[in-house]
Amino acid sequence: MSRPVYSKLLIAGYSSTPSEQFKNTVPAGVIWVVRCIDVFNGGSGAFDIQANDTHGDPFFVPFATGVENGPKTYHWEGRQVLPSGTPIYVNTADGPYSFSVSGYELTLP
């Protein structure tokens, strides 16, 4: 029997400090499918979003920016699977920034 699938906010935040890191990790027993990322850059600094493998190396970097004058918005859509235990990071510098990462949380069989 199939189960319904609902979108979930996987990580979101707001930063107005000079430098900040946000982190969330895929819980045990599930996978995340990242579907949508939205970022608003209200400052002139850099930010990046990445998911790292078990060695700490990034394998999913949907976009990384250099220093650009804000305000500017960024958007990504796709289907990136993150296995259990995978950390996803958002790093900001010279905010303000707001961001959201949404997708699906699916239970492993």
pTM: 0.86
User: Does residue 102 form part of some domain?
Assistant: yes
- Predicted confidence pLDDT, tens digits, the chain (109 residues): 677 778 999 999 998 877 888 999 999 999 999 999 998 888 777 778 888 887 888 888 887 666 566 788 889 999 999 999 999 988 887 778 899 999 999 998 8
Q: How many whole angstroms separate alpha carbon 39 and alpha carbon 95?
A: 12
Give me the CATH number covering residue 75: 2.60.120.230
Supply the range of the domain harboring residue 85: 7-107
Query: Is residue 2 in some structural domain?
Result: no
- Structural domain count of the chain: 1
- Per-residue HEC secondary structure of 4-16 comes to CCCEEEEEEEEEC
